[in-house]
Chains A and B, each alone.
Chain A
């Protein structure tokens, strides 16, 4: 199973939202990292065929998705960034509605709904109205909707936004459990969401994929660029030319965790983590 993006481009007027993205996606969890406005959502929307690319093509197992049409959508599960569901529907009722939209037979829909409600721990909320669910439950229901048709391609656009740490951890485990035999793309700018579970990381900046590989490979590239040192407080200003990942200010001295392409004298080299990787690529003051 393969999903190939070939020179995928989307232009809105003069703004190039996605710029000639070419890559191949295979089963496993691919994390799409990027700052806000980097083009992640636009790229994902093209992959799920709700916006048409200005140019370029997407091939699913060698076939152009434009030709596959509904057949392609049968294999897609999408959880949008701003997830909306009918607030007056009950949980189970809404899942049946979505199952109908996804073209599932009623008997199969029942099996899937029971299974997924158990999986996302919403069995007790089955007959509750959606508007009564908490933020975490709402997102979990979103995942259930996404997985109803047992999709081969799962696209999750910032699914953990607004969740508390515990819900975030639960969500992370849930996503990890479904990513074995599916192509899962998880878009986020929260690095902790994908640490330890991502099989590949794709970093997107200004509409382009600037990096796409296994986490250990990307982290290896970061080796020799992450430093730690402690300096007198009045000397911190000399290190502000570097990307400061973390600083801990003491009474007389400050601990600095820095990113730098050049060697920093007197500093200790640290083992890079994904947070360092992210900040290294988005060090130019972009919002995140």
Chain B
């Protein structure tokens, strides 16, 4: 059986086009995301400093590491003292000091958010900016209301956490954004790859040889399924691995126990109790679950259709049409079946990864909905393949 599974995997990638597309799918989203991440920090109007994006991020990372620590009253006080010192001692800040103050400001901001329960309860529904009151004290200025969907998270926010750490989030942030950017492209590739999983033999006129061999009727059907599932797990793992190694080489990863929410505050986004490591894990698992779901559905269509073109077409219609319709059907079809959609490259999805992880991925209904599809479809895939008629071999 192992040899059959291995051969099925080899068959998938024997085709040069499949291999070339795989390389593109593995590398292009990463490169595009990295370039767009750098371009975000390219302009001095955005960063406030005259540095290129790479230098800016490295400097930012340096200060995040410098002021890392567990969120305590003492830690916040130290940061505030440092902030005042910088503010008062130097009226003409250089670029590095501007970044240092920015990191300090956000760290203090986050510290207050964690430690000041009264403040948090009063201001939970709002984004904030930094400012001074009439006495010259640093305060948070409420701005606009947060979307209701995020309120639940914040309500159950940080009180349950005993230790919250702040530190270097640069690579975690970039890497999770990169994983998110794989969603749609990767989904397309999987649909393409698995659309011929069960009917390739028909195209190659191999079905007669297979169906007259001892293991061709039953075992091969199962081997194909297992090979498909294995590939659907290994490919996202490859993506995660490549992303991880890439950002490890470029920036290096900080402590995974650092709060993911800390970096989210940079964009006034949703709060989360997850650490960077956990959020990275959630993003990875969502990619794997989405990959498995798409693999199962594509293999199902492939076992139903004798032509890979037909199964490819119906897979695309199934996945893309609801998106194009942009209606409730789209929401249900894609978001409930394939969490890859959650990881698409849109700017808001990235910041929602953690919240989705908490209300969708770890939600029993969500897991049931995903796994029920798989459990229902697997026997049909096996039966359709077993009974697949030989039609084009004479």
Contact = CB atoms under 8 A, between A and B. Distances in A.
A145 B394 contact: no
B217 A78 contact: no
- Main secondary structure on chain B at its contact with chain A? loop
Interface string A61-89: 00000000010011010101111111111
Given A80-B393, A80-B394, A86 B214 contact: no
A172 interface: no
Interface residues on B, range: 20 to 34
Interface in A82-125: 82-89, 97-98, 100-103
A50 interface: yes
A64 B213 CA distance: 18
B140 to A, nearest CB: 63
B364 interface: no
Contacts of A98: 209, 213
Contact of B7 (A70, A83, A100): A100
Interface string B1-20: 00110010001001100000
B375 interface: no
B394 to A, nearest CB: 4
Nearest to A86: B204
Nearest to B213: A101
Interface in A145-193: 145, 149, 157
A50 B206 CA distance: 12
- Main secondary structure on chain A at its contact with chain B? loop
B215 interface: yes
A50 to B, nearest CB: 5
Contact of A84 (B7, B15, B204, B216): B204
Contact of A102 (B207, B214, B390, B393): B214
Most A CB within 10 A of own CB, among B7, B14, B212: B212
A82 B206 CA distance: 9
Given A98-B209, A145-B209, A70 B214 contact: yes
A48 interface: yes
A73 B212 contact: yes
A100 B393 contact: no
B206 A73 contact: no
B209 A78 contact: yes
A49 interface: yes
Contact of B393 (A48, A49, A81, A149): A81
A78 B214 contact: no
A41 interface: yes
Given A81-B394, A100-B3, A100-B4, A88 B14 contact: yes
Interface of B: 3-4, 7, 11, 14-15, 201, 204-218, 220, 389-390, 393-394
Interface of A: 41, 45, 48-51, 70, 73-74, 76, 78, 80-89, 97-98, 100-103, 145, 149, 157
Given A80-B209, A101-B210, 16 more contacts: A49-B211, A51-B390, A73-B212, A73-B216, A80-B394, A83-B209, A84-B207, A84-B208, A84-B393, A85-B206, A86-B11, A86-B204, A100-B4, A101-B213, A101-B215, A102-B214
22 contacts: A41-B394, A48-B212, A50-B211, A50-B390, A51-B389, A51-B390, A73-B213, A78-B208, A81-B393, A81-B394, A82-B393, A84-B209, A85-B204, A85-B209, A86-B14, A98-B213, A100-B3, A101-B220, A102-B213, A103-B214, A145-B209, A149-B213
